[in-house]
Amino acid sequence: MRRTRPSHTPPSDDTLIRAHQRGDSAAWNALAERYLRLAYATPHALGCSAERSSAIAREALGVVAGRLSGLEVDADLPALVVEAARAATPDSAPDLPTAATPSAFAPLGARLQAQHRVWQAVQQLPSECATLLSALHYGPLADAPDEVARTYGLSRQDMATHEAACLRRLLDALQSTGPLWTPTDTTRADEPAPADCQVPFADLVAYASGELHGPGLESLAAHLAGTGDQSEPCQSCRANLAKLERVLGLMHTDQTPELPTELLDSVQAMAEEAAAQPLGRITALPEADEGRGRTRVRVLSIALPIVCLLALAAGYAYWPRRQTGRLVEYERGDLNVKLGPGAPWLTGQVGQVLAEGASLESETPATALVRFWDGSLLRVQSEGSWRLERLRGSRNDRLVRLTLRQSSGSASYASTPPRNLASLRMRIELPKAYLDLAGTATVTVPAEGGLHVQIHQGSARLRSGAAFVDLVAGQEIYIQPDGTLLLL
């Protein structure tokens, strides 16, 4: 299950609006891509054809683009998009005058905004979660879980386990951006669960989806109702179930189809005229007289040499150069070291200086520690093969590029802690993947193929083929020999 992920957390609406007001046309492109689906979903939900829905979406986003320059902080952009699309619908579809009136449309408009927020949150999940939830709840196979399982080579049980983990992450993501549910849904939701409450979240998902049967259903129903051995209902599970049912209901009732491929291009074309309007407010400065011109020349003649000296000093401090590492611990095993591409293999010794192109190799379990010039670490923990592909850094260590290749075995890595104004990167190149690490991690390349990565501290980005996954402390990911990504 692979899917391209954004390279960073998407900017907020406010950030994009301010950028647009400063004349950045790319900001409008991002907003148009973010809300085109919602603008299209509004007339579609009112019964308009695909052609009419496309025309209304273009018109609605044109209205929004025209109003962006005057919007204040914390503007409710989803509501503005929905209202613009609703207002444009009667002109394009005069046979829907009642449904499109503000009072009649209000409940549907609120649901469309909630559905869009859930859909956006799904797209921002790690790639394997976004792909699985999209297939199960939005794609053409949304009502055929067996077919989805066959498509991705999973058993129904494995797929249910992965779906539950992804839905848990989805609820957490939605909660972090504000409640999607009504106050009655979350009554006592912040109370801790009783000490004996150990209901797996997967059981709540199965219960909400009507997939839980037999003794499991009886046990969970009693747990939620507070019957049997319990003195009162489990409020924590009830609150989580209410949120889960709300989100699943929004996903199941979102009937927005795939948008026409050319629609986004036509909407983003509005950027050239929509984003440049604020620049018209700038007033030209009066021309300087000759005296001011002479003063400016004198100032430049003094400042320019100073700037050049500062630039040379910065270049000297930041210009990357080759650096080294050192074998500082060697505890056990037959570790062989090659000090360079053309050098012979030597027995590993504490104190050996390792330059760019050096290699480590052991055919028996070995334990050794390599410390690099910037404080980064490589700890060999098994038999395997490693190569120091790139060891580059500036004189002031503000620019670091450290690339290590692990072909097999198991090892732990620790990158340098981040520093202000520093550009640091530790990259671990692996078979059919690479890991950009900002923290500590253990990486294992099994002999039978595949890959296992566990993040202990900080964060990392794993790229495998066209897909990449952002990882944080406590997460593990498996890449099976067939390329399937499994995030734990």
Domain for residue 302, yes or no?
Answer: no
Does residue 28 carry a pLDDT above 70?
yes
Per-residue pLDDT band for 4 (boundaries 50, 70, 90) equals very low
157/199 same-domain check: no
- Over pLDDT 70: what percentage of the chain? 79
CB contact set of 9 (below 8 Å; sequence gap of 6+): none
Task: Find the domain containing 62 and state its range.
Answer: 13-173+254-271
107/136 same-domain check: yes
Domain for residue 314, yes or no?
Answer: no
Alpha carbon distance, N-terminus to C-terminus of the chain? 15
- Write down the pTM of the prediction: 0.53
- Rounded to an integer, what distance in angstroms lies between the CA atom of residue 445 and that of residue 432? 11
- What is the predicted pLDDT for the residue at 271? 55
Which of 13-17, 63-67, 79-83: highest mean pLDDT? Answer: 79-83
Domain for residue 1, yes or no?
Answer: no
Domain for residue 296, yes or no?
Answer: no
221/140 same-domain check: no
- What is the predicted pLDDT for the residue at 406? 95
The four Cα atoms 85, 91, 96, 102 give a dihedral, to 10 degrees, of 50
Can you tell me which residue has the tokens 């409008």? 28
219/129 same-domain check: no
How many C-beta neighbours within 10 Å does residue 327 have? Answer: 22
193/167 same-domain check: no
Query: How many structural domains compose the chain?
Result: 3
Residues 39/85, Cβ–Cβ less than 8 Å = yes
Beta strands 451-464 and 433-445 are antiparallel
55/110 same-domain check: yes
92/215 same-domain check: no
The per-residue pLDDT of the chain, averaged, comes to 80
H helix or E strand, kind and range, residue 213: none
377/465 same-domain check: yes
- What is the predicted pLDDT for the residue at 358? 92
101/63 same-domain check: yes
Domain for residue 288, yes or no?
Answer: no
How many C-beta neighbours within 10 Å does residue 169 have? Answer: 16
- Rounded to an integer, what distance in angstroms lies between the CA atom of residue 382 and that of residue 353? 21
Instruction: With both helix axes pointing from N to C terminus, report the angle between 235-252 and 127-137 in degrees, rounded to the nearest 10.
Output: 70
25/143 same-domain check: yes
Residues 385/360, Cβ–Cβ less than 8 Å = yes
395/414 same-domain check: yes
- Least trusted range by pLDDT, from 19-23, 300-304, 407-411, 435-439: 300-304
